[in-house]
Every structure is written in structure tokens, then in C-alpha cells.
């Protein structure tokens, strides 16, 4: 069971993490807007996360922390 933490205020909503995730755990929160004015990333199926860190590997803003 992996735990995902996002520094949501720094997310620019580019979605590169969403595309990188092989388990489709992530999505951009269409109903939320962060301080920067972007739809930030959120985990919708955290229980399916395998902690491969592909999302964090592609995140340009280093906002994802992954623990297992």
C-alpha cells in the first residue's frame, strides 16, 4: 500500500504525471483550482498505486512524495 503526498500549491497541472502512471491512479482535479490557478493533480485510486514513481520521475516541479 503506497502513500502519495502532493505539494498541491506548486502543481502547474501539466498532466505529465497522469500520463506516466501505468495504473491510471492520477487525474487533474477539474473541480479544484490551486493558488497558481491550475487544476492540480490528485490521486483517484491511491490503493492501486504500486509506488513505481513514474509520476514523480516525470513531474517537472517535484511536488510528489511517495511512501510505502
The binding site for another protein (CB under 8 A) comprises: 2, 9-10, 12-16, 19-20, 38, 51, 53-54, 56-62, 64-68
Which is closer to another protein, CB of 45 or CB of 57? 57
Return the number of the residue (30 or 67) whose C-beta is nearest another protein. Answer: 67
Which cell goes with 26? 492520477
The minimum distance between CB 31 and another protein, in angstroms, equals: 19
DSSP per-residue codes, 2-46: -EEEE-GGG-----HHHHH-TT--EEE-TT---TTSS--EEES-G
Amino acid at each position: 500500500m503506497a502513500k502519495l503526498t502532493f505539494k498541491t500549491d506548486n502543481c502547474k497541472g501539466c498532466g505529465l504525471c497522469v500520463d506516466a502512471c501505468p495504473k491510471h491512479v492520477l487525474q487533474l482535479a477539474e473541480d479544484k483550482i490551486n493558488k497558481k490557478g491550475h487544476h492540480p493533480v490528485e490521486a483517484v485510486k491511491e490503493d492501486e498505486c504500486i509506488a513505481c514513481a513514474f509520476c514523480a520521475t516525470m513531474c517537472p516541479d517535484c511536488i510528489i512524495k511517495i511512501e510505502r
